[in-house]
A and B are shown apart, each in its own frame.
Chain A
Amino acid sequence: MNIIVCIKQVPNTTDVRIDPVTNTLIRDGVESVINPFDAYAIEEAVRIRERCGGKVTAVTMGPPQAETALKEAIGLGCDEGVLVSDRKFAGSDTWATSYTLACAIQKLDAYDLVLCGKQASDGDTAQVGPGISTHLDIPQVTYVKKIVEINDKSARVERMTEEGYDVVEVPLPCLFTVVKEINTPRMPSLKGMMRAKSAKLVKWTAADLDADPAALGLDGSPTRVVKIFTPEPRKGGEMISGATGEVARELVELLKGEVV
Chain B
Amino acid sequence: MNLELFIWVEAICTLAIFSFLFRENPVYRLFEHIFLGLTIGFVLMKTWLEVLKPKWWDRLIYCIEVGDPHFWIWIIAFILGMMWYFQLSRRWYWISRIAIGISLGVGAGMEFKNQFMLIMPQITASFKPILVRNTQGMLQFSFNNFFMVFTIVAVLSYFFFSFEFKYKGMQLLPRAGRLLLMISFGAFFGNTVMTRFAVFIDRIQFLIQQWLHIGGG
Binding between chains A and B: no
| B residues lining the A interface (CB < 8 Å) | none
Give chain A's interface residues, CB within 8 Å of chain B: none
